[in-house]
Chains A and B, each alone.
Chain A
Amino acid sequence: MATRRRAGAALALFMTSALVVAGCSSGGDDDKPSESELYKNPVTLTWWHNANQDGPGKTYWEKVAKDFSTAHPTVKIEIEAIETNQLQRTRIPAALLSNDPPDIFMTWGGGELRDQVEADYLKDITDQVKTEVANIGSAAEIWQVDGKQYGLPFRMGIEGIWYNKDMFAQAGITAPPATFEELNAAVTKLKAINVTPIAVGAGDKWPAAHWWYNFALRDCSVDTLKKASLDKKFDDPCFVKAGQDLKAFIDTKPFQNNFIATPGQNDPTSANGLLANGKAAMELMGDWNRGTLDTVATDKAKLAKFLGWFPVPAISGSAGDPKAALGGGDGFACAKNAPAECVEFLKYIASPEVQKGYAETGTGLPVAKGAEAGIKDPALKSILEATSQASYVQLWLDTAYGSTVGTAMNDGIVGIFSGKGTPEQVVERMKAAASK
């Protein structure tokens, strides 16, 4: 009898405290937390990011969390570093489905963010982060859904071609190619001196798919691309044209042998490894490549000396904007029910001070203005310059269209690379996936 009464009391206590908690959090969601609410109660923020490999990136996030806790002793931050694909594809979706997601976690923006917002998983931070968004500029739009801000980026950059200056000089290529005609000429010259012109990590699918994205960027108008991200129809013939251009390019045999099994990064046999160790002259890749090339290079000093970067060449007479570029970034978002301190931490990560420190790690390009001074590497500097000159930055197509259409698109593109698939099949598979 006594036990039963005690259980009842415990239940009552639980219910009341749950009501209190619910009351608090709904209050916190609706209006901007007042200064008095913040940092009053001890909170623990769980933070999931993808810098799981030992290195400057991982160490830096640990320092950021520690600095924030020192400044605000009521906040404790628990970090879990998880490999990117596992984090984005399995851990975060599963955690969001449960009632216990991490408070602050990584997000790529685009289609994935839209899905998460539609399922009401994320905190609307529009009002709290106005200053940060203004400082970041148009890149912050990737983490917006219908004009509302749900996350902030910490890394953002456009992609281009990383190349070996020594090999270019040896082959007699005087200036980085500005058009595809010049790129084709460079490929021929590099073959003449027995060098693999371009390394592509087609084994991981997306490094190969990025070639198609760039042809699509050159063949489709900016309006067509913007529309496709929203309605996912892909009826414009420019998407088939992108595949045809890619096929013609592959037929000139610019890539290494057996590229279909070459991984993208993280091991010496990868496309990264081929460029980093002087076995190929070029590689198409994003701004993070500076860091990943370093991890696979046997001679880092030599790599730093020969490494250069140039934007993806233009196609003369094409419908697309020659100054448009493909890009993307990494950001963080707060879970719907995360404490208000989460948003403060998010703002701290996006602050110029923290961003400058991030830039110094060399693992990617910062997004906040005022952090540029942290960039030392000349190749990264040229990316930053090109990013600011780009007329339009199209988010990676697989991120923009969401995982389902993105995967079908990448599979179709790999089909073209293998010689088994056709340009038409890519578009057919994208359309089929959109209804799957």
Chain B
Amino acid sequence: MTSTDQTRFPAGGVSTPPAGHRPAGRASRRAETRRKWYEIVGLTTPAIAVYVMFVLVPMGFAVYYSLYRWRGVGPPTDYVGLRNYTLAFQDPIFLDALRNNAIIVFGSLLIQGPVALGIALLLNRRFRGRALFRLLVFVPYVLAEVTVGIMWKLILVEDGTFDALLKSLGLGGLVQAWLADLDVVIWTLLFILTWKYVGFAIILLLAGLSNVPHELTEAAAIDGASWWQTQRHVTLPLLGPTIRIWAFLSMIGSLQVFDVIWVTSVPAVRSLGASGTMATYMVDNGFFARLWGYGNAVAVILFVISFVAALLFQRFILRRDIEGAITRRAN
């Protein structure tokens, strides 16, 4: 079968149109257009092929599998329509996962944003050891997620380093079962995620700050603006695009967060809904409970939520920055 397909489409070589009795101008123009199309097709085919193979086809399969009651043995045969989707929204643990994702999305934006902005503004000033500070702030982001997860797990263990630190500071009363108390664990995880990803926000903002023309801040200073006023009225507005892009990346990352949660929070705590996210819920149910059809349904829900959030964000917030690329120009 494959061989006939191959023979129907001979590989390689752009055949040049036979030279001869056609009007030269039109023929060459047509040849030009054709050449351009060959070029476009030839150059984009590899990328499109990879995209189709590894993005679109798996997505299609996920949707297909999600409509079946399927345990991953043999081909899916038991078609159940949208049952897996309704089951997911009836499962209190999945709703808990949605809530946890929301906490992480908004928590990350509200905590990382201001903290990163403050640190970036500080690190943008000239002082001795600035490069070292910039490096230190970025270190957590470079560490692998699994490393971060295990590290914090060991630090936060009962009577571990963190509890000892609190006690030595006279704050023994604040000690919690950081990863065991079902009401505390999601905030512990939010803290770890913030610690890990704030460096990324800072680096982005520093890059944005380096694009703020020096003349503007200088002009503001000459006009008698204080440092605060300069930041508020000159730097911040010019940082807008960077902040918006960071918020976008942070939001999508928070919706899909998996590794730190998976490593730091044990299965029992996840299964009680205290710390699981949509992604960990998907793996716990898809692979561990061997509900492959159901797991695919959760994957599709996760995709739709992320996709809609991304579209809305681009439509209403990133609009100014990517005018024309995704959205139509107003009027």
Which chain A residues have a beta carbon within 8 Å of chain B's beta carbons? Answer: 4, 7-8, 10-11, 85, 89-90, 93-94, 96-97, 115-116, 118-121, 202-205, 208, 257-258, 260-263, 269, 402-404, 406-408, 410-411, 414-415, 417-418, 420, 433, 436
Contact = CB atoms under 8 A, between A and B. Distances in A.
A125 B266 CA distance: 39
19 contacts: A10-B3, A89-B287, A89-B290, A93-B72, A93-B73, A121-B73, A203-B269, A205-B267, A260-B269, A260-B272, A261-B179, A261-B185, A269-B157, A404-B71, A404-B290, A407-B285, A408-B289, A414-B271, A436-B69
A407 B288 contact: yes
Contact of A115 (B3, B73, B181): B73
Given A96-B73, A404-B71, A7 B271 contact: no
A227 to B, nearest CB: 22
A389 to B, nearest CB: 33
Contact of A418 (B72, B93, B268): B268
Contacts of B180: 258, 260-262
Contact of A436 (B271, B287, B291): B291
A406 B287 CA distance: 13
Interface in B264-290: 266-269, 271-272, 284-285, 287-290
A411 B182 CA distance: 15
A404 to B, nearest CB: 5
A208 B268 contact: yes
Contacts of B154: 269
Nearest to B87: A436
B293 to A, nearest CB: 9
Contacts of A93: 72-73, 290
A404 B268 contact: no
Given A115-B71, A260-B180, 6 more contacts: A119-B73, A208-B268, A260-B272, A261-B179, A261-B180, A417-B268
The 8 closest A-B pairs by CB, nearest first: A203-B266, A261-B180, A119-B74, A407-B289, A258-B180, A403-B290, A119-B73, A411-B271
B259 interface: no
A208 B158 CA distance: 19
A11 B3 contact: yes
Q: Which of A85, A415, A436 has the most CB of B within 10 A?
A: A436
B177 interface: yes
A7 B180 CA distance: 64
Interface residues of B, number: 33
B16 interface: no
Contacts, number: 99
Nearest to A406: B289
B177 A436 contact: no
Interface string B80-102: 00000001000001000000000
Interface of B: 3, 6-7, 69, 71-74, 87, 93, 154, 157-158, 177, 179-182, 185, 266-269, 271-272, 284-285, 287-291, 294
Contacts of A11: 3
B170 to A, nearest CB: 23
Nearest to B275: A261
Contacts of B3: 7-8, 10-11
A420 B272 contact: yes
Contacts of A85: 288
A65 B166 CA distance: 53
B151 to A, nearest CB: 13
A261 B266 contact: yes
Contacts of B268: 202-205, 208, 260-261, 414, 417-418
Contacts of B181: 258
Nearest to B156: A261
Nearest to A418: B272
A90 B287 contact: yes
A204 B266 contact: yes
A415 B272 contact: yes
B177 A404 contact: no
B77 to A, nearest CB: 11
A291 to B, nearest CB: 22
Contacts of A406: 289
A142 B326 CA distance: 58
Contacts of B177: 257-258, 261
A257 B157 CA distance: 12
A420 B268 CA distance: 12
Contacts of A96: 73
Contacts of B185: 261
Contacts of B93: 411
Given A89-B290, A263-B266, A404-B290, A116 B271 contact: no
Nearest to B6: A7
A257 B158 CA distance: 9
A406 B289 CA distance: 7
B306 to A, nearest CB: 23
B272 A414 contact: yes
A119 B70 CA distance: 12
A433 B294 CA distance: 11
A199 B82 CA distance: 43
A373 to B, nearest CB: 39
Nearest to B292: A93
Nearest to B185: A261
A140 B290 CA distance: 25
